[in-house]
Structure 1
């Protein structure tokens, strides 16, 4: 399986990249980003472009891939809906439309979040925008689209969040996460499980397009 990965420098993306590089069934990983990761691996290649939502100039380099993993996203804190939509809906759909054109047999896996609003009319801004993004992705002519809605994610293997607030919270409260996972086993997942789940779903599919935390955990443990 050949994979395209967006958001590889983020907390979830780091976990997904790690699992892809470790998995013997993943033949190659192409990271699409605005800057280089500075990593070297026999499976890994990079496509550095200034605007990851506009792939028209690099189409030839994006052909022949089996899956796209898209954990790229930003926090909605302090943002207007217009700005958040541009960095969430517009960016994601800009990339996805090109990939659907080039690789109609591709499986596209998008990370939104627990509480995403599929009606697009709820009170919570980020949930409406994520819901609109999910709905638009489902209308694209991919072989399959799967939507991951994790709740709390525990970073493992030295991975850290790029968001300062989240990173601080993880460092201060990380010791409690194993206990919380025992108390709420269907609501807290890890970066490793999310990465493993993406590979599993891309290879074998899943009964429904939306995967909540319990589904991500189940897929990640197969």
Structure 2
């Protein structure tokens, strides 16, 4: 029988992170699931029959101070924001590039068995779109990092789902439109389909080595 695994999630309060946490807590292959969070987790929203959950509230601006938590089998990074929510380009880059890049460095330093993070369909360091440019630069930085085993970027399209206290009418409209166009998005265009958060979460788990 294979040994049980330990997991670490960064960004468990987002759409994908919430779904990923629920899946990991119910997955018999995991013994512990640690979450690094900006604010306390509403544990009543999760089923944790095996008492696996280990929530830790931290300051992400000082992520290096929490490197010991990265000594796990699998690191899942769901950190991310939008340009609108960030308010300016510098803040957006800090969350979507710097925090994730530091997390990957800590996973490498602590010899984590795998590092999976959320990128975006269309990520390209040469893009004229700042969002996609940052995502592409991050992919390049992490994938070129030596001695980081099983690093993988998941590239979802527009997410389908409601975010609490987060008004994104354009994103909701885009998701609805892409759902209507789904029959036409085949072949090379399939990657642009709108996806549900639980699908992204399962794809992240698929990249980890058990």
Gap runs ≥5 in structure 1: 205-222
Contact 2:37 2:56 in 1 (8 A): yes
TM-score normalised per structure 1:
0.75
Contact 1:53 1:92 in 2 (8 A): no
The residue that corresponds to 1:19 in the other structure is 23
Post-superposition shift, 1:82?
2.7
- 1:106-129 Cα distance to aligned partner (Å, 9 max, x none): 211110111111xx2321111111
Post-superposition shift, 1:83?
2.8
The residue that corresponds to 1:58 in the other structure is 66
Do structure 1's residue 201 and structure 2's residue 207 form an aligned pair?
yes
SS of 2:7's equivalent? Answer: strand
Contact 1:62 1:102 in 2 (8 A): yes
Do structure 1's residue 71 and structure 2's residue 75 form an aligned pair?
no
SS of 1:27's equivalent? Answer: strand
Distance 1:183 1:16, change over 3 A: farther
TM-score normalised per structure 2:
0.79
Post-superposition shift, 1:173?
8.8
Q: 2:126 aligns with which of 121, 130, 133?
A: 121
Q: Aligned equivalents of 1:182 and 1:39: distance in 2?
A: 38
Q: Aligned equivalents of 1:53 and 1:96: distance in 2?
A: 15
The residue that corresponds to 2:154 in the other structure is 148
The residue that corresponds to 1:5 in the other structure is 9
Distance 1:181 1:44, change over 3 A: farther
Contact 2:117 2:204 in 1 (8 A): no
Do structure 1's residue 81 and structure 2's residue 86 form an aligned pair?
no
Q: Pairwise mapping of residues 107-186 of structure 1 onto structure 2 (< 5 A)? A: 107-117=114-124, 120-140=125-145, 141-155=147-161, 160-162=162-164, 164-166=166-168, 170=172, 180-184=181-185, 186=190
Contact 1:154 1:177 in 2 (8 A): no
Post-superposition shift, 1:193?
1.5
Stretch deviating more after TM superposition (136-145 or 176-185): 176-185
Gap runs ≥5 in structure 2: none
Distance 1:87 1:11, change over 3 A: same
The number of residues matched between the two structures is 194
